[in-house]
Structure 1
Amino acid sequence: MVFLSRAQTVCLAYILYKKKQNKRTNRRYWVHPLNLKRPREGQFQVTFMMLRSHSDEFKNYYRMSISSFDELLSRVKHRLQKENTILRNSIPPEERLSVTLRYLATGTNFSSLHFDFLMGVSTIAKVIHETCVVLWDELQPTEMTPPTEENWLEIAEGFYTKTQFPNCVGAVDGKHIRLQCPKNSGTQYYNYKHFFSLVLLAVCDSNYCFTVIDVGSFGKESDCNIFKQSPFGKKVYSDKINFPKDRCLPGDEDGVSQPFVLVADEAFALSKRLLRPFPGRSLNNNRRIFNYRLSRARQHIECSFGILSNKWRVFHSTLLVTPDVAVSITKAACVLHNFVRRRDGSNIEDTINCEMDDISDKIGVGNASSNAKDIREYFVKYFNDPKYALSWQNKVIV
């Protein structure tokens, strides 16, 4: 048995006292007096019913129409409903959804939302994370379901109608989602643009809706590597994707059948199922015209990202959350993007200017197969044939 001296006992007692004191929180209230006013003075209680009487203001506040909000609530309500306890009433689903949509729409930090909705900061954070998870779980099966062969054909028709690029089933690109530096992450999330981020990789259709997304890769990773490692990208590069069977390009029925393809920028690897521009500035006119025609289709993914960010302005600021929460926020915003576009159609967000990137400065990926190069050259020939050329394309490349 070990006996301690009086001095040792005093020291040990002091250490235990300080340890206990450090663990003690500074919480003075079970519920802060300010938050007790929420049932009467919270932003949701004050504005929700009033906004429902003014459809334009409601749409500006929630980024969707009243009918879309009601449908959305009906689909997630059963997952957002919590039980009341003896100590307090639960936050109703309508309010949980309102807090989350307002956060996505503005990017306002949790502290500011605390003063608006009169909820604790930790409660705000928890509500937003939980609701984003529910939004993805409940909407993804219908709003971002994996396309069937028939769906791919419909998408291809849309791209040809709008961009005159045949056999195109989607445009693919990546977007960096700004993120505060995660703890103990080193440089994994530090990207070539010199800020911390995770990557949203997406494929879109001709209506600017996302058909496939991959979220959460480190910011330092290239779009090409992320795409190659994603489940969808592996199917594309191994030619095991359920794209429609090859067919002749429009008007070229006597020619060689061509595959259905995705279009991407210079950062992606050329393959049978993915076409990218020719690199460099010293290109002949035929290749420059091909680049122009491809850019008209590829521009859709850039505009899709622009519409997403302009509607859900949380992406205009740095996400002050952990990477797993940032992934949930991004996935929820993407599936909401599709949900709202299909119900409310175009809006002012769609009028943003989507500039085409200068591909000459992109970092290219080499070693494409001869088959992939032959396919691209066939498209070059097709676009420069007077029968299939756009009347203005030669003027644009001058």
Structure 2
Amino acid sequence: MMPNRRRENAIIGLGVIALAQVRSRKRKNFWIKNCLLNHDEECPMPLLPELQENNPDDFRNYLHMTDACFHQLFALLSPYIKKRDTCMRTAIPAEQRLIATLRYLATGRSLQDLKSTTGISPQALGLIIPETCSAIIQVLQKDYIPFPSNPQQWQDVAAQFQHQWDFPNCGGAIAGKHIRIVPPPNSGSDYLNYKGFCSIVMLAVVSATYEFLFLDVGKNGCNSDGGAIMQTEFYKRLQNGSLNLPPAEENVEGLNFVFVADEAFALGENILKPFPMRNLTPEQRIYNYRLSRARRVVENAFGIFSSRFRLFLTPINLAVYKLNHVVLCCCILHNFLLRNSSSYLASVSTDEDPAVSGPAEEAASRPSVGVMTGLEPGHAELPSQDAHDIQQKYLEYFVGKGAVPWQEIVADYLI
């Protein structure tokens, strides 16, 4: 009898403790705050229509996007982000979902901070923003990240480089940047880069008109430029010949079709890099200048990108899989705005002829180190003799048939 009574007393005691713990829990006074429940009436978003109508400059500053571009984007996305009302509450309108997402991308403000200006809870914003970014990718990626798939499309890209930057047979400029992140729990030093902060790597191929042609996002920040590109699908296809690049006999002067890069990448039969900056001959200085002039489009593209989407100026506190979608979404929006907003490049210098502006202005238009940190130069493998021969052929072309009148003056001024 005694063991049974002790067992009963123990059970009763555990029940009393459990009941006390339940009663001690703080009860929620309400399911949702009134200011969030009535967000249509009590948040600043209803002021946006007035800004659109009477103060277009203020509206553009709010979203970093013109009214026309916003309505064009909303018309495309509305069917994909609209939600149904339920018996519990009305759905957040599709327009407010898009505005909240664009405001987050444009400012990088915390979700808690955005609550005050959108009237949407941080918990809801944490779902709305990735969902809207995924919808933008789904709707726009095919048309606005136009990675070439056949020789003619590559030749179209090369024609832009020839016209804009006097560089023949060029399929794009390659570079990578570190995107600051708040590291995932228990990640150790996996995301710690050579600058001492945690990041993921964004590697891009950019056209002559600053559009992103190819993107790879998500590699750990400890990778160098060369190490990052070797892990991408682009590099694998470049190596196995499945990019469908134009054959040399169809190119200017029978030269290889190439991509321009900086010192961090390995010289290859389809990747050109500058000569080392020591004991340069006059011809090598001209080659370096001409290559740098074409390659700077990728640095300018990153500068425009980070200026428009200021989210990338602060550490981003999102799960890595969500962050990959956010980065890709911003790149798609970058290309969308390039094509549809005449004011998007208003502050960017695109001098084509330094003979008109002078070498000092040409030097001033060269990209400086931006707020997005570049990748660390890696220890690349020794290039083949064929790669050296192709580099030499381009040098001979730039000082011969492909020379431009101002190149000697500018090359001497810059180097």
Q: Which TM-score applies when normalising by structure 1?
A: 0.89
Indicate the SS of the match to 1:211.
strand
Structure 1 match to 2:123: 122
Choose from 218, 224, 227 the match for 1:225: 227
Tell me by how many angstroms 1:18 deviates: 8.0
- The answer as to 2:109 corresponding to 1:108 is yes
Residues 224 and 377 of structure 2 are in contact (CA less than 8 Å); yes or no, is this contact kept in structure 1? no
Matches of 1:329 and 1:193, distance apart in 2:
23
In the alignment, which residue of structure 2 is the partner of 1:390?
404
The residue matched to 2:204 in structure 1 has which SS? Answer: strand
152 and 17 in structure 1: CA distance in 2 versus 1, 3 angstrom threshold: farther
C-alpha spacing 1:145/1:15, structure 2 compared with 1 (3 Å): farther
Q: What is aligned with 1:284?
A: 281
Q: Once the 2 structures are TM-superposed, how far is the Cα of residue 66 of structure 1 from its aligned partner?
A: 2.1
Equivalent residue number for residue 265 of structure 1: 262
1:351 partner SS: coil
CA shift in 2, pair 1:14/1:294, >3 Å: farther
Query: Aligned partners of 1:110, 1:61: CA distance in 2, in Å?
Result: 16
Which residue does the alignment assign to 1:187?
Answer: 189
CA distance in structure 1 between the partners assigned to 2:266 and 2:348 by the alignment: 31
Equivalent in the alignment of 1:341: 338
| In structure 2, C-alpha distance between the alignment counterparts of 1:192 and 1:329, rounded to whole Å | 24
Amino acid at match of 2:47: V
Aligned to 1:380: 395
- Deviation track 1:299-323 (CA, whole Å, cap 9, x = no partner) reads 0001001101111111111111111
User: Is the 2:106–2:309 contact (alpha carbons within 8 Å) kept by the matching residues of 1?
Assistant: yes
d(CA) in 2 for partners of 1:45, 1:121: 19
Q: How does 1:1-398 map to 2 (within 5 A)?
A: 5=7, 8-9=10-11, 12-13=14-15, 16=18, 27-148=28-149, 149-247=151-249, 250=252, 252=253, 257-347=254-344, 350-351=347-348, 354-355=366-367, 362-385=377-400, 387-398=401-412
Larger CA deviation: 105-114 vs 36-45: 36-45
CA contact (8 A) 2:48 2:59 kept: no
Long gaps (5+) in structure 1: none
Amino acid across the alignment from 1:135? I
1:80 and 1:131 in contact (8 A); partners too:
yes
Q: Distance in 1 between matches of 2:10 and 2:238?
A: 70
8 Å Cα contact 1:143/1:335 also seen in 2? yes
Contact 1:295 1:356 in 2 (8 A): no
Which AA in structure 2 matches 1:153?
Answer: Q
SS at match of 1:383: helix
The 3 A distance-change label for structure 1 pair 216 and 303 is same
- Post-superposition shift, 1:243? 1.6
Deviation at 1:54, TM superposition (A): 3.2
Give, in whole Å, the separation in 2 of the partners of 1:365 and 1:165. Answer: 25
1: CA distance between counterparts of 2:317 and 2:338? 27
Instruction: Name the CA distance, whole Å, in 2 between partners of 1:20 and 1:290.
Output: 76
Bigger shift: residues 56-65 or 79-88: 56-65
Q: Which runs of 5+ in 2 are unaligned?
A: 350-364
Equivalent pair of 1:209/1:304 in contact (CA under 8 Å): yes
Farther off after superposition, 45-54 or 147-156: 45-54
Contact 1:159 1:166 in 2 (8 A): yes
Task: Quote the offset at 1:269 in angstroms.
Answer: 1.6
Amino acid in the other structure paired with 1:393: Q
Q: Structure 1 pair 21/121, CA: closer, same or farther in 2 (3 Å)?
A: farther
TM-superposed CA distance for 1:238, in Å, is: 2.4
What amino acid is the match of 1:181? Answer: P
- CA-to-aligned-CA distance 1:33-67 (integer Å, 9 cap, x gap): 32134111212222234324433333222222222
The structure-2 alpha-carbon separation of the partners of 1:332 and 1:349, relative to structure 1 and needing over 3 Å to count, comes to farther
Instruction: Identify if the C-alpha distance between structure 1 residues 37 and 64 changes in structure 2 by more than 3 Å, giving closer, same or farther.
Output: same
Instruction: Provide the rounded CA distance (Å) in 2 between the counterparts of 1:243 and 1:182.
Output: 39
Q: Return the alpha-carbon distance in structure 2 between the equivalents of residues 300 and 310 of structure 1.
A: 15
**Identity across matched positions, percent:** 33
Q: Cα distance, 1:17 vs. partner?
A: 5.7
Q: Which moved more, 1:341-350 or 1:88-97?
A: 341-350
Partner letter of residue 98 of structure 1?
I
- For these two proteins, the number of residue pairs brought into alignment is 388
Structure 1 CA distance for aligned equivalents of residues 148 and 17 of structure 2: 63
Whether the 8 Å contact between 1:302 and 1:354 is mirrored in structure 2 is: no
Q: Report the residue type matching 2:300 in the other structure.
A: C
1:275: Cα distance to partner?
A: 1.0
| Whole-angstrom distance in 2 between the partners of 1:287 and 1:40 | 66
* CA displacement, residues 146-172 of structure 1 (integer Å, 9 cap, x when unaligned): 213322111111111121111111001
Distance 1:356 1:118, change over 3 A: closer
Deviates more, 1:162-171 or 1:223-232: 223-232
Cα distance between partner residues in 2 of 1:290 and 1:146: 28
Deviations 1:208-233 (A, max 9, x none): 01011111111111222222221111
Question: Does the aligned pair in 1 maintain the 2:251–2:257 contact within 8 Å?
Answer: no
2:69 maps to amino acid:
S
Match of 1:44, SS state, is: coil
Q: Indicate how the Cα distance of structure 1 residues 93 and 298 shifts in structure 2: closer, same or farther if over 3 A, else same.
A: same
Once the 2 structures are TM-superposed, how far is the Cα of residue 118 of structure 1 from its aligned partner?
1.4
Q: Would you say the 8 A contact 1:52–1:58 is kept in 2?
A: no
Q: For residues 354-395 of structure 1, what are the alpha-carbon distances to aligned partners after superposition, in whole Å with 9 as ceiling and x for unaligned?
A: 5267x9x9445232122111111111111122x432333223
Change (3 A) 1:391 1:49: same
